[in-house]
Amino acid sequence: MMKRIVVLDSDVAQCQEISILLSSLDVAAMHSLPELQEYLTESDCRVILIDLDTIAIDNRTLVQMKRQHPEIDIIAKSELPFHPELEEALRSHILACLTKPLDPDELVFWLKSIFQNSSPPDKSLNQTLS
């Protein structure tokens, strides 16, 4: 069974778009940081896709999240090319920062990279994202 992808975005429409794009994968939509933190204590998660434009998050929170859950890869998305307040997290804890609107091929590339480097590889990911 493939581990879950969590989309953290307070914009419900954007969450739905990503969920539709990844419809055959195990995707959970979260709309607030407290909701995500509660979820992480109870569930199996592999990737978090965070919208930096709609979710207020800081370096300390990201560092703490990675310390508690080092197996999780974080992908950010934003309209801004750089977030100086998140410089440390962007350098050390965020795998990639994608520009909005999301390029589906770019998101697929990063997800394939993450899951292909996981063990064991999940065949449904390759079929879904091919």
* The pLDDT of residue 1: 46
Which CATH number applies to 4-121: 1.10.10.10, 3.30.540.10, 3.30.465.10, 3.40.50.2300?
3.40.50.2300
Note the pTM of the prediction, 2 decimals: 0.85
Contact 18, 75 (CB under 8 A): no
* The pLDDT of residue 129: 53
* The pLDDT of residue 2: 57
* The pLDDT of residue 121: 42
- Main-chain phi, psi angles of 84, to 5 degrees: -60, -30
Give the start-to-end residue ranges of the domains of the chain: 4-121
The DSSP symbol for 84 reads G
Buried-state track 79-98, b at ≥16 Cβ within 10 A, e below 16: eeeebeebeebbeebbebbb
As averages over each run of 10 residues, the pLDDT of the chain (130 residues) reads: 83 91 88 92 90 90 90 91 75 87 93 79 50
